[in-house]
Amino acid sequence: MAFKPLVFSGVQPTGNLHLGNYLGAIVKFVELQNSHDCIYCVVDMHAITVWQEPTELTRNIREVTAAFLACGIDPKKHIIFNQSQVAEHAELAWVFNCVARLGWLNRMTQFKEKAGKDRENASVGLYAYPNLMAADILVYRATHVPVGEDQKQHLELSRDIAQKFNNDYAKSIQERGFGDAFFPQPEPLIQGPATRVMSLRDGTKKMSKSDASDYSRINLTDDADAIARKVRKAKTDPHPLPVDEKELAARPEADNLVGIYAALNGSTKADVLGEFGGSQFSAFKNALVDLSVAKLGPIGAEMKRLVQDPAHIDAVLADGSARAKLLAAETMNAVKDIVGFVRR
Ligand code: TYM
Protein backbone atom coordinates (compact mmCIF):
# COMPACT_ATOMS: atom_id res chain seq x y z
CA MET A 1 0.00 0.00 0.00
CA ALA A 2 1.23 3.50 -0.81
CA PHE A 3 1.37 5.83 2.18
CA LYS A 4 1.15 9.59 1.86
CA PRO A 5 4.67 11.02 2.29
CA LEU A 6 4.96 12.69 5.67
CA VAL A 7 8.02 13.78 7.64
CA PHE A 8 8.25 13.41 11.42
CA SER A 9 11.15 14.05 13.77
CA GLY A 10 11.81 14.99 17.38
CA VAL A 11 14.37 16.70 19.58
CA GLN A 12 14.69 16.20 23.34
CA PRO A 13 14.43 19.31 25.53
CA THR A 14 17.42 18.41 27.68
CA GLY A 15 19.39 21.66 27.38
CA ASN A 16 22.54 22.66 25.48
CA LEU A 17 21.19 22.32 21.93
CA HIS A 18 24.36 22.12 19.88
CA LEU A 19 25.88 22.13 16.42
CA GLY A 20 25.36 18.34 16.12
CA ASN A 21 21.61 18.72 16.66
CA TYR A 22 21.59 21.56 14.17
CA LEU A 23 23.61 19.95 11.35
CA GLY A 24 22.48 16.36 11.96
CA ALA A 25 18.79 17.14 12.25
CA ILE A 26 17.39 20.68 12.31
CA VAL A 27 18.97 21.82 9.02
CA LYS A 28 17.26 18.86 7.35
CA PHE A 29 13.96 19.71 9.05
CA VAL A 30 14.13 23.15 7.46
CA GLU A 31 14.98 21.83 3.97
CA LEU A 32 12.25 19.18 3.98
CA GLN A 33 9.57 21.82 4.47
CA ASN A 34 9.86 22.65 0.78
CA SER A 35 9.06 19.16 -0.43
CA HIS A 36 6.94 17.51 2.31
CA ASP A 37 4.34 18.02 4.99
CA CYS A 38 6.34 17.99 8.23
CA ILE A 39 5.65 17.43 11.92
CA TYR A 40 8.38 18.44 14.37
CA CYS A 41 8.07 17.49 18.00
CA VAL A 42 9.71 18.62 21.22
CA VAL A 43 9.86 15.20 22.88
CA ASP A 44 9.39 16.16 26.52
CA MET A 45 8.17 12.69 27.53
CA HIS A 46 11.43 11.23 26.28
CA ALA A 47 13.36 13.81 28.30
CA ILE A 48 12.01 12.57 31.66
CA THR A 49 13.41 9.08 31.09
CA VAL A 50 16.33 10.63 33.00
CA TRP A 51 15.76 13.12 35.81
CA GLN A 52 14.83 16.67 34.73
CA GLU A 53 14.41 19.56 37.13
CA PRO A 54 10.80 20.75 36.42
CA THR A 55 11.57 24.46 35.95
CA GLU A 56 14.55 23.59 33.74
CA LEU A 57 12.41 21.24 31.66
CA THR A 58 9.83 23.96 31.03
CA ARG A 59 12.60 26.35 30.00
CA ASN A 60 14.18 23.76 27.73
CA ILE A 61 10.88 22.89 26.00
CA ARG A 62 10.51 26.57 25.12
CA GLU A 63 14.15 26.80 24.06
CA VAL A 64 13.91 23.89 21.58
CA THR A 65 10.71 25.43 20.20
CA ALA A 66 12.54 28.74 19.84
CA ALA A 67 15.35 26.92 18.00
CA PHE A 68 12.86 25.38 15.55
CA LEU A 69 11.38 28.81 14.87
CA ALA A 70 14.73 30.64 14.73
CA CYS A 71 16.11 28.11 12.23
CA GLY A 72 13.18 28.79 9.93
CA ILE A 73 10.53 26.13 10.51
CA ASP A 74 7.14 27.58 9.61
CA PRO A 75 4.63 26.64 12.34
CA LYS A 76 1.64 27.56 10.19
CA LYS A 77 2.47 25.52 7.11
CA HIS A 78 3.83 22.63 9.17
CA ILE A 79 3.37 21.46 12.77
CA ILE A 80 5.54 22.27 15.79
CA PHE A 81 4.32 20.87 19.11
CA ASN A 82 5.38 19.19 22.33
CA GLN A 83 4.76 15.50 22.82
CA SER A 84 3.05 15.58 26.22
CA GLN A 85 0.14 17.60 24.80
CA VAL A 86 -0.84 14.69 22.53
CA ALA A 87 -1.68 11.75 24.79
CA GLU A 88 -1.97 9.39 21.81
CA HIS A 89 1.84 9.08 21.76
CA ALA A 90 1.74 7.36 25.15
CA GLU A 91 -1.32 5.31 24.22
CA LEU A 92 0.26 3.90 21.08
CA ALA A 93 3.53 3.36 22.96
CA TRP A 94 1.68 1.01 25.30
CA VAL A 95 0.40 -1.05 22.40
CA PHE A 96 3.96 -1.15 21.06
CA ASN A 97 5.26 -2.24 24.47
CA CYS A 98 3.15 -5.32 23.81
CA VAL A 99 4.40 -5.74 20.22
CA ALA A 100 8.15 -5.20 20.68
CA ARG A 101 10.17 -8.10 22.16
CA LEU A 102 12.49 -7.86 25.14
CA GLY A 103 15.27 -9.28 22.98
CA TRP A 104 14.95 -6.36 20.56
CA LEU A 105 15.26 -3.76 23.30
CA ASN A 106 18.16 -5.61 24.90
CA ARG A 107 20.18 -4.87 21.78
CA MET A 108 19.77 -1.08 21.95
CA THR A 109 23.22 0.45 22.34
CA GLN A 110 21.90 3.84 23.46
CA PHE A 111 20.23 2.27 26.49
CA LYS A 112 23.47 0.49 27.37
CA GLU A 113 25.44 3.74 27.07
CA LYS A 114 22.95 5.85 29.02
CA ALA A 115 22.24 3.31 31.75
CA GLY A 116 25.95 2.61 32.16
CA LYS A 117 27.07 0.23 34.89
CA ASP A 118 24.20 1.06 37.23
CA ARG A 119 21.62 -0.63 35.00
CA GLU A 120 19.35 -1.78 37.83
CA ASN A 121 18.83 1.84 38.75
CA ALA A 122 17.86 3.07 35.26
CA SER A 123 14.20 4.02 34.78
CA VAL A 124 11.85 1.61 33.03
CA GLY A 125 11.09 4.54 30.72
CA LEU A 126 14.71 4.69 29.56
CA TYR A 127 14.52 1.01 28.63
CA ALA A 128 11.18 1.34 26.80
CA TYR A 129 12.24 4.63 25.16
CA PRO A 130 12.54 3.19 21.62
CA ASN A 131 8.93 1.97 21.73
CA LEU A 132 7.75 5.50 22.50
CA MET A 133 9.91 6.76 19.67
CA ALA A 134 8.26 4.28 17.28
CA ALA A 135 4.87 5.51 18.51
CA ASP A 136 5.88 9.16 17.89
CA ILE A 137 6.50 8.39 14.25
CA LEU A 138 3.79 5.84 13.58
CA VAL A 139 0.94 7.65 15.33
CA TYR A 140 1.11 9.91 12.26
CA ARG A 141 1.94 7.01 9.95
CA ALA A 142 4.95 9.12 8.95
CA THR A 143 7.11 7.84 6.11
CA HIS A 144 10.36 9.84 6.43
CA VAL A 145 12.41 10.61 9.54
CA PRO A 146 15.40 12.99 9.37
CA VAL A 147 17.85 12.17 12.17
CA GLY A 148 21.54 12.00 12.99
CA GLU A 149 23.47 8.74 12.69
CA ASP A 150 23.05 7.95 16.41
CA GLN A 151 19.32 7.33 15.94
CA LYS A 152 19.73 4.73 13.19
CA GLN A 153 19.25 1.73 15.46
CA HIS A 154 16.10 3.22 16.99
CA LEU A 155 14.69 3.77 13.51
CA GLU A 156 15.39 0.15 12.60
CA LEU A 157 13.46 -0.89 15.70
CA SER A 158 10.54 1.35 14.63
CA ARG A 159 10.48 -0.48 11.31
CA ASP A 160 10.50 -3.85 13.07
CA ILE A 161 7.62 -2.78 15.29
CA ALA A 162 5.59 -1.53 12.31
CA GLN A 163 6.22 -4.79 10.51
CA LYS A 164 5.31 -7.01 13.45
CA PHE A 165 2.11 -5.05 14.13
CA ASN A 166 1.16 -5.38 10.45
CA ASN A 167 1.87 -9.15 10.58
CA ASP A 168 0.28 -9.90 13.96
CA TYR A 169 -2.91 -8.05 13.09
CA ALA A 170 -2.90 -8.78 9.34
CA LYS A 171 -6.38 -10.34 9.33
CA SER A 172 -7.95 -7.55 11.39
CA ILE A 173 -6.23 -4.89 9.27
CA GLN A 174 -7.62 -6.49 6.10
CA GLU A 175 -11.11 -6.84 7.54
CA ARG A 176 -11.22 -3.17 8.44
CA GLY A 177 -10.29 -2.11 4.94
CA PHE A 178 -6.71 -0.97 5.56
CA GLY A 179 -5.24 -3.29 2.94
CA ASP A 180 -2.23 -5.42 3.80
CA ALA A 181 -0.34 -2.92 5.97
CA PHE A 182 -1.64 -0.38 8.47
CA PHE A 183 1.72 1.17 9.32
CA PRO A 184 4.35 2.27 6.80
CA GLN A 185 8.02 1.34 7.15
CA PRO A 186 9.43 4.73 8.17
CA GLU A 187 12.56 5.58 6.26
CA PRO A 188 15.49 7.22 8.07
CA LEU A 189 16.98 10.23 6.29
CA ILE A 190 20.62 10.30 7.39
CA GLN A 191 22.54 12.22 4.77
CA GLY A 192 25.24 14.78 4.13
CA PRO A 193 28.68 15.53 5.56
CA ALA A 194 27.64 15.94 9.23
CA THR A 195 25.42 13.04 10.27
CA ARG A 196 27.67 12.44 13.28
CA VAL A 197 29.32 15.63 14.55
CA MET A 198 32.09 14.80 16.99
CA SER A 199 33.30 16.51 20.16
CA LEU A 200 35.68 19.42 19.57
CA ARG A 201 37.90 18.01 22.31
CA ASP A 202 38.02 14.41 21.07
CA GLY A 203 37.34 13.44 17.45
CA THR A 204 36.36 9.91 18.44
CA LYS A 205 33.52 10.97 20.77
CA LYS A 206 30.10 12.24 19.65
CA MET A 207 29.29 15.90 20.34
CA SER A 208 26.72 15.67 23.10
CA LYS A 209 24.48 17.81 25.29
CA SER A 210 25.71 16.05 28.40
CA ASP A 211 29.50 16.33 27.93
CA ALA A 212 30.93 17.97 31.06
CA SER A 213 33.19 20.24 28.98
CA ASP A 214 31.42 23.15 27.30
CA TYR A 215 34.44 23.36 24.98
CA SER A 216 33.40 20.02 23.48
CA ARG A 217 30.42 21.58 21.69
CA ILE A 218 29.16 24.74 20.05
CA ASN A 219 25.79 25.59 21.56
CA LEU A 220 23.17 27.22 19.36
CA THR A 221 23.00 30.07 21.86
CA ASP A 222 26.77 30.72 21.93
CA ASP A 223 27.75 34.26 20.93
CA ALA A 224 30.46 35.10 18.39
CA ASP A 225 33.21 35.24 21.03
CA ALA A 226 32.34 31.84 22.45
CA ILE A 227 32.15 30.27 18.98
CA ALA A 228 35.55 31.73 18.06
CA ARG A 229 37.14 30.55 21.30
CA LYS A 230 35.80 27.00 20.94
CA VAL A 231 36.81 26.62 17.29
CA ARG A 232 40.31 27.98 17.98
CA LYS A 233 40.74 25.59 20.91
CA ALA A 234 39.35 22.60 18.99
CA LYS A 235 41.70 19.64 19.01
CA THR A 236 43.64 19.05 15.79
CA ASP A 237 46.68 17.05 14.74
CA PRO A 238 50.10 18.51 13.84
CA HIS A 239 49.87 17.99 10.06
CA PRO A 240 48.48 20.33 7.39
CA LEU A 241 44.95 19.53 6.17
CA PRO A 242 44.89 16.49 3.90
CA VAL A 243 44.26 16.84 0.20
CA ASP A 244 42.07 13.79 -0.30
CA GLU A 245 39.15 12.18 1.51
CA LYS A 246 40.96 8.88 2.04
CA GLU A 247 43.59 10.53 4.21
CA LEU A 248 40.90 12.62 5.90
CA ALA A 249 39.04 9.51 7.02
CA ALA A 250 42.09 8.43 9.06
CA ARG A 251 42.31 11.77 10.91
CA PRO A 252 39.22 12.09 13.12
CA GLU A 253 39.67 15.70 14.29
CA ALA A 254 40.39 16.99 10.78
CA ASP A 255 37.52 14.93 9.39
CA ASN A 256 35.13 16.42 11.94
CA LEU A 257 36.08 20.06 11.30
CA VAL A 258 36.00 19.59 7.53
CA GLY A 259 32.58 17.92 7.81
CA ILE A 260 31.27 20.80 9.93
CA TYR A 261 32.57 23.35 7.43
CA ALA A 262 31.03 21.46 4.50
CA ALA A 263 27.66 21.12 6.22
CA LEU A 264 27.53 24.79 7.28
CA ASN A 265 28.46 25.82 3.77
CA GLY A 266 26.07 23.44 2.00
CA SER A 267 29.01 21.83 0.16
CA THR A 268 30.91 18.52 0.42
CA LYS A 269 34.09 17.44 2.22
CA ALA A 270 35.77 17.09 -1.20
CA ASP A 271 34.92 20.75 -1.98
CA VAL A 272 36.39 21.87 1.35
CA LEU A 273 39.58 19.87 0.79
CA GLY A 274 39.77 21.38 -2.71
CA GLU A 275 39.89 24.80 -1.08
CA PHE A 276 41.89 24.13 2.12
CA GLY A 277 43.82 20.88 1.45
CA GLY A 278 47.51 21.43 2.29
CA SER A 279 46.86 24.55 4.43
CA GLN A 280 47.66 24.86 8.12
CA PHE A 281 44.83 24.39 10.61
CA SER A 282 45.18 27.98 11.82
CA ALA A 283 44.09 29.38 8.44
CA PHE A 284 41.29 26.86 8.12
CA LYS A 285 40.09 27.58 11.65
CA ASN A 286 39.86 31.31 10.88
CA ALA A 287 37.61 30.52 7.94
CA LEU A 288 35.57 28.11 10.08
CA VAL A 289 35.09 30.77 12.77
CA ASP A 290 33.83 33.27 10.18
CA LEU A 291 31.46 30.74 8.62
CA SER A 292 30.14 29.48 11.98
CA VAL A 293 29.53 32.98 13.30
CA ALA A 294 27.80 34.00 10.06
CA LYS A 295 25.49 30.96 10.11
CA LEU A 296 24.87 30.47 13.84
CA GLY A 297 25.05 34.04 15.15
CA PRO A 298 21.64 35.11 13.78
CA ILE A 299 20.02 31.85 15.02
CA GLY A 300 21.31 32.30 18.56
CA ALA A 301 20.21 35.95 18.61
CA GLU A 302 16.72 35.05 17.38
CA MET A 303 16.41 32.23 19.94
CA LYS A 304 17.29 34.66 22.72
CA ARG A 305 14.68 37.10 21.44
CA LEU A 306 11.98 34.43 21.16
CA VAL A 307 12.46 32.98 24.66
CA GLN A 308 11.76 36.45 26.07
CA ASP A 309 8.15 35.90 25.02
CA PRO A 310 7.07 32.55 26.48
CA ALA A 311 3.38 33.29 25.83
CA HIS A 312 4.06 33.38 22.10
CA ILE A 313 5.99 30.10 22.22
CA ASP A 314 3.30 28.43 24.29
CA ALA A 315 0.69 29.58 21.76
CA VAL A 316 2.70 28.01 18.91
CA LEU A 317 2.87 24.73 20.85
CA ALA A 318 -0.84 24.79 21.73
CA ASP A 319 -1.84 25.39 18.12
CA GLY A 320 0.53 22.69 16.84
CA SER A 321 -0.60 20.22 19.49
CA ALA A 322 -4.27 20.72 18.62
CA ARG A 323 -3.55 20.03 14.95
CA ALA A 324 -1.29 17.06 15.74
CA LYS A 325 -3.92 15.60 18.06
CA LEU A 326 -6.54 15.45 15.30
CA LEU A 327 -4.20 13.33 13.17
CA ALA A 328 -3.00 11.16 16.04
CA ALA A 329 -6.53 10.47 17.31
CA GLU A 330 -7.56 9.18 13.90
CA THR A 331 -4.69 6.65 13.88
CA MET A 332 -5.32 5.68 17.50
CA ASN A 333 -9.01 5.01 16.87
CA ALA A 334 -8.08 2.74 13.97
CA VAL A 335 -5.47 0.97 16.13
CA LYS A 336 -8.06 0.37 18.85
CA ASP A 337 -10.42 -1.17 16.28
CA ILE A 338 -7.64 -3.30 14.79
CA VAL A 339 -6.53 -4.55 18.21
CA GLY A 340 -10.14 -5.28 19.22
CA PHE A 341 -10.69 -2.72 21.99
CA VAL A 342 -14.24 -1.51 22.52
CA ARG A 343 -14.52 2.26 22.15
CA ARG A 344 -17.11 4.99 22.19
P1 TYM B 1 18.24 14.04 20.49
O2 TYM B 1 17.40 15.01 21.20
O3 TYM B 1 19.36 13.38 21.24
O4 TYM B 1 18.90 14.73 19.22
C5 TYM B 1 18.11 15.44 18.29
C6 TYM B 1 18.62 15.17 16.89
O7 TYM B 1 19.99 15.56 16.79
C8 TYM B 1 20.77 14.48 16.27
N9 TYM B 1 22.10 14.53 16.88
C10 TYM B 1 23.23 14.58 16.17
N11 TYM B 1 23.47 14.59 14.85
C12 TYM B 1 24.76 14.66 14.44
N13 TYM B 1 25.82 14.72 15.31
C14 TYM B 1 25.62 14.70 16.65
N15 TYM B 1 26.65 14.77 17.49
C16 TYM B 1 24.28 14.63 17.14
N17 TYM B 1 23.74 14.60 18.38
C18 TYM B 1 22.40 14.54 18.20
C19 TYM B 1 20.01 13.23 16.69
O20 TYM B 1 20.35 12.14 15.87
C21 TYM B 1 18.57 13.68 16.51
O22 TYM B 1 18.17 13.53 15.16
N23 TYM B 1 15.51 9.84 20.27
C24 TYM B 1 15.70 11.16 19.68
C25 TYM B 1 14.48 12.04 19.74
C26 TYM B 1 13.23 11.40 19.20
C27 TYM B 1 12.92 11.20 17.84
C28 TYM B 1 11.62 10.62 17.84
C29 TYM B 1 13.59 11.43 16.65
C30 TYM B 1 12.19 10.97 19.95
N31 TYM B 1 11.19 10.50 19.14
C32 TYM B 1 10.99 10.26 16.65
C33 TYM B 1 12.96 11.07 15.47
C34 TYM B 1 11.68 10.50 15.48
C35 TYM B 1 16.83 11.85 20.44
O36 TYM B 1 17.13 11.54 21.55
O37 TYM B 1 17.36 12.92 19.78
- Looking at ligand 1, which atom is closest to the CA of residue 206? 15
The CATH code of the domain that includes 223 is 1.10.240.10
Task: Give residue 288 CA to ligand 1 midpoint distance, Å.
Answer: 24
Does 191 lie in the same domain as 96? yes
Q: Residue 135 to residues 11, 159, 191: CA-CA distances in angstroms? A: 15, 11, 23
Residue 207: inside a domain: no
> Are 125 and 248 contained in the same domain?
no
Secondary structure, 3-state, 285-317: HHHHHHHHHHHHHHHHHHHHHHHCCHHHHHHHH
Q: Which domain holds residue 253?
A: 214-305
Phi, psi (deg, nearest 5) at residue 304: -65, -35
b/e per residue 286-308 (b: at least 16 CB within 10 A): ebbbeebbebbeebbebbeebbe
In terms of Cβ atoms closer than 10 Å to its own Cβ (0-12, 13-18, 19+), residue 18 is buried
Q: Is the pLDDT of residue 1 over 90?
A: no
**Residue 135 and residue 218 in one domain:** no
Residues 233 and 102 in one domain: no
Angle between helices 224-233 and 281-307 (to 10 degrees): 150
Give the model confidence (pLDDT) of 186-226 as tens digits.
Answer: 999 999 999 999 999 999 999 999 999 999 999 999 999 99
Cβ neighbours for 281, distance < 8 A, ≥ 6 positions apart: 236, 240, 241, 254, 257
Residue 2 in any domain: the answer is: no
Mean model confidence pLDDT for the chain: 97
| 175 and 27, same domain (yes or no) | yes
Determine if ligand 1 sits within 6 Å of the CB of residue 190. no
Angle at which helices 310-339 and 88-97 pack, to 10 degrees? 40
Do 271 and 334 belong together in one domain? no
- Residue bearing the CA closest to ligand 1, atom 29: 10
- Stretch (H or E) spanning 248: helix 245-249
Q: Categorize the per-residue pLDDT at 2 as very low, low, confident or very high, splitting at 50, 70 and 90.
A: confident
When pLDDT is averaged across residues 99-113 and rounded to a whole number, the result is: 96
The CATH number assigned to the domain holding 102 equals 3.40.50.620
Residues 226 and 188 in one domain: no
Catalytic residue among 209, 235, 304, 336: 209
- Check: pTM over 0.95? Answer yes or no: yes
- Concerning whether 114 is annotated as a catalytic residue, the answer is yes
Ligand 1 pocket, residue 9 CB under 6 Å: yes
> Catalytic site residue 206?
yes
pLDDT tens sequence across 157-193 = 999 999 999 999 999 999 999 999 999 999 999 999 9
pLDDT band of residue 298 (cuts 50, 70, 90) is very high
Do residues 291 and 314 share a domain? no
Identify the pLDDT of residue 45: 98
Strand-by-strand arrangement of the 37-42 sheet: 79-82, 37-42, 6-11, 144-146, 187-189
Residue 28: inside a domain, yes or no?
A: yes
